[in-house]
Amino acid sequence: MNSNDKVLDIVFAGTPEFAARHLDALIKSQKHRIVGVYTQPDRPSGRGKKLTASPVKQLALKHDLKVLQPASLKKADARAELAALNCDLMVVVAYGLILSQKALDIPRYGCINVHGSILPRWRGAAPIQRAIESGDSVSGVTIMQMDLGLDTGDMLLKSECPVYSEDNSGQLHDRLIELGIKALLQTVDDIVNGQCQPEKQDDQYATYAHKIDKQEAEIDWTQSAEVIDRKIRAFNPFPICFTLLGEQRLKIHRAAVLNKGIDNNKTENTPPAGEISVQADKLVVQCGQGQIQIEQLQLPGRKSITAEAFIAGFASQLQYENDNGNQTKVILTKESAKPAQPNGLKT
């Protein structure tokens, strides 16, 4: 048997859809055996809080694969269970649990990880969102040999792709899945053929993609239109950016910078940050610098609607009579700074 015919016994560890797509590719390649699938324990989900299996578990059960769901891999009995699988390689994709050095040492060829960035940039839990939020023009995937650090292992293969100016995290996520699948299958072939050339990461260029906190999604309208636009795209499809209109949370699914590239320096006539108005059939919000055009938004307890539908139903409520009897435009605010204005829209 030559090296190209060698069949590896692989353990896969992952949890979300991103991971499930990589497991599916390994299964469909039919080159190697999946001898076990690790995924996080079932979690309560939905309004009824019903225990729900992860996408990886659902796929594994569909293919009659052995599923293991330990709460931790740090305990001796969990490691013994992994060792009993007698695997050659462990493939880890967005698993969500920390592997001890003793666990990393069990597979013959160690453990490899598919990470959604070009390392060492954006180590950590949310590389896709942070890349868009920071205005990166390039993203990609890295296959690395795992060690005890946070995404610090030697790089085995990197594959880049552009980040487009209108990309949201969901769109970039889907492109990185395709890149990751190709890179993973190539890396497994390289391991079989002894062709991997590990490359050390340069720690001086490392940045960290800390986990998304839902409260980060609150919009600060004193920031520039470009910064706000990037955040709206970065936090779509989760957790979705929001602002306050009176006392109502308004979710903003999609927006665009208005008059991008034009000098938007403040003058004495510049409206206050957060002022929302209808301009030439567009729903426009003044930012600290520049303006945002809202394109898709959502009122509490309702489905998302287009700006056109919002204007048709609520344009007349975007201004009110102040204490002096003058018409004043509504200001979108943060929860910590509610101005004296109507409590919200009448729906």
Residues 167, 124, single domain; the answer is yes
Rounded distance, CA 272 to CA 342, Å? 17
The token pair at 103 is 């666990």
CATH number of the domain that residue 44 is part of = 3.40.50.170
DSSP code string of 140-171: EEEEEE--SSSS-SPEEEEEEEE--TT--HHH
Of 158, 177, 209, the domain-final residue: 209
Are 19 and 96 a contacting pair, CB within 8 Å?
no
Residues 184 and 227 in one domain: no
Packing angle between helix 17-29 and helix 169-193, nearest 10 degrees? 40
Segment 230-252 shows an average pLDDT of: 95
pLDDT in tens, 157-185: 999 999 999 999 999 999 999 999 999 99
Q: How far apart are CA 148 and CA 162, in angstroms?
A: 30
> 3-61, pLDDT tens digit by residue?
557 999 999 999 999 999 999 999 999 999 999 999 999 999 877 889 999 999 999 99
What is the span of the domain harbouring residue 173?
Answer: 3-209
Q: Is residue 25 located within the same domain as residue 140? A: yes
CATH number for the domain that contains residue 316: 3.10.25.10
Which string of DSSP letters, residue by residue, matches 1-59?
--GGGPPPEEEEEE-SHHHHHHHHHHHHH-SSEEEEEE-PPPEEETTTTEEE--HHHHH
Q: Is 339 a residue whose pLDDT tops 90? A: no
Confidence (pTM): 0.91
- Crossing angle of helices 55-62 and 17-29, in 10° steps, is 30
Do 184 and 203 have their domain in common?
Answer: yes
The neighbouring-strand residues paired with 157 are 143
